[in-house]
A and B are shown apart, each in its own frame.
Chain A
Amino acid sequence: MIKKIIEPLIVTLLIIAIFYLGYSNKLKLLINPSYFIFIYITLVVLFLIFTAIILIPGSRSKNNYFSYLLFLIMIIILFSTSYKDYQESISELKGVTNNIFEYKTKVDIFDGDRVVITEFNYLDAVDEIYRNIDKYIGKKILFKGYVYYANGIKPNEFVLSRLIMVCCAADTSVYGLLCSYENINHDFKSDEWYEINGEISKKTLDIDGELNVHPIINIIEYREIPIPEDPYIYPVLF
């Protein structure tokens, strides 16, 4: 009897949870929008399962209490995700990644004579600057991200980072450009979002005993911004 009530209830709640994630724009913070088609089909199949439970009389296995409990826990989890808290803890857990994707050979990241990095050219642009630092030294740059104080960098430096999602939030990586605020009297709080206008230069960093030349952005102007609608960067896969 319990089964008759709880099984359709679980499927309904699951459908509502997915709709809730979609409407509150949280779905794209969990999986890459390229995979939304799978979610649509999932909704259709769940709806069919719901219909089957309601219409097909008495499939008579035992109550599967443990399964119901796990499904309910999962539904609560679906309702309780938060991007902001996730961003804070995942940066600490994952640390900054370098050079994650092969960049396209010809990227034009200039807008006039200033480098402008957007959601759409983010990976290509950061990668391009890393690979051809000398070409960009002295150039102005405008880009957005959140402040992440990575391990092993100077006190007046941080990485202005973005989270990259290839497929789902389980594969998030942290990617960004090192910024220096030596000349600026402002307390950049960890995990706050900023739009930064700066000048590109380079610096040799000692990371785990390996010397590497890194681009570094000397901040000229900064503007605190709210968390954008699309905080994630989604690599173009196909």
Chain B
Amino acid sequence: MFSTFTTISASIFLEGIFFLLIGILISSLIEEFISEDTLRKLIPKNKILGLLVASSLGVIFPICECGIVPVVRRLLKKGVPLHLCVTLLFSSPIVNIVVTISTFFAFQNYFYVVILRLLGGFLISFTTGLLVSFKDSENLILLDNSNIQHCSCTTESCHGTKRPFNRISRIGSHTVLEFFDTGKFFIMGILITGLIQSVIPNSIFKSIGSNYPLGNIFMLIYPYFLSICSNTDAFIARSFMEQFSISAILGFMIFGAMFDLKTTIMLKKVFNIKFIIYLFLVIFSLTIIFTTLIQFLVLGGVQ
């Protein structure tokens, strides 16, 4: 059992750290090169338009779920509205060029699965952002400002300069800070996932049910604990084709990519617990609604 724990934890760590580092680097670059003013100008004034942009940004900004957390955290600090950040957070693991390509390869003979996954990711992240936009964003975000502003200098004189060396030095120092800060939650998530996977036998998961709707609900909970990267989860999902319906597999690839144990723990740094639970419930319900619609409208009901 211990070896299962070490092997699974080590492998998720090695698989995810690249994407985490990329996210951290992008976050540091945003911090350095994009000012609050620029961001404010870039964000569309119209709420719906803003949400549309946020839910499709992943196409040019391919970061999966580990990497997007530090980026979103940075954007929140820069004053980007909460609902846009939430939409970006949940759309980028799916509406994402890398993820789309891997889904395409995994489901070569089922092109509509690729389209439905993209559509689901887009609609669900859009709707979640829309729902969040009606909430009072105060108290939902936990931004420990002290930490981020602790770069080598806090004075105007340094932060104002644009000399290349200063810039590189600031990017470096933010990257290091973020590495130890986000890394903590990343590893915590991995250790818990590794523990669960090394204790609970697969047969328990399988016996829970492969029928509708039980199978569909199961296929939302299972990837939550599996915490695999959305860049590769399509290949895992593919292996369930014989046991589960397409709608259940879509749920696996939509909810599992947006929300898993590892990201939940990483999000603890960004949002308060109540809001994380709120987001979980909203996305869970929206995925159920989406997959149910697919089951009845596209796949022609329950067999």
Contacts and interface: CB of A to CB of B under 8 A. Distances in A.
A169 B183 contact: no
Given A74-B190, A81-B3, A59 B239 contact: no
Nearest to A41: B18
A170 B176 contact: no
Contacts, number: 182
B285 interface: no
Given A30-B10, A89-B198, A166-B232, A56 B173 contact: yes
Nearest to A30: B11
Contacts of B232: 166-168, 171
- Interface majority SS (helix, strand, loop, mixed), chain B: helix
Nearest to A87: B3
Given A52-B173, A81-B3, A59 B8 contact: no
A39 interface: yes
Given A42-B21, A45-B21, A81 B235 contact: no
Nearest to A67: B184
B18 to A, nearest CB: 4
A94 B202 contact: yes
Interface residues of B, number: 62
A60 B239 contact: no
Interface stretch (B88-96, B145-153, B249-257): B145-153
B243 to A, nearest CB: 9
B191 A67 contact: no
Contacts of B72: none
Interface in B10-45: 10-15, 17-19, 21, 25
Q: Is the interface of A mostly helix, strand, loop or mixed?
A: helix
Contact of A167 (B109, B197, B236): B236
Interface string A41-80: 1100110110111011111111010111011011001101
Contact of B179 (A49, A78, A93, A151): A49
Contacts of B19: 38
A97 B173 contact: no
Interface stretch (A99-107, A184-192, A198-206, A217-225): A99-107
A166 B15 CA distance: 12
29 contacts: A30-B7, A30-B10, A30-B11, A38-B19, A46-B21, A48-B175, A49-B176, A52-B173, A52-B176, A62-B147, A64-B180, A66-B184, A67-B180, A70-B187, A74-B10, A77-B6, A81-B3, A81-B7, A82-B3, A85-B4, A90-B4, A90-B7, A95-B203, A97-B239, A101-B238, A151-B203, A168-B228, A170-B12, A170-B226
Given A56-B169, A169-B7, 6 more contacts: A7-B176, A30-B11, A81-B10, A95-B201, A100-B239, A168-B232
Interface of A: 7, 18, 21, 27, 29-31, 35, 38-39, 41-42, 45-46, 48-49, 51-53, 55-62, 64, 66-68, 70-71, 73-74, 77-78, 80-83, 85-86, 88-90, 92-95, 97-102, 151, 166-171, 173, 235, 237-238
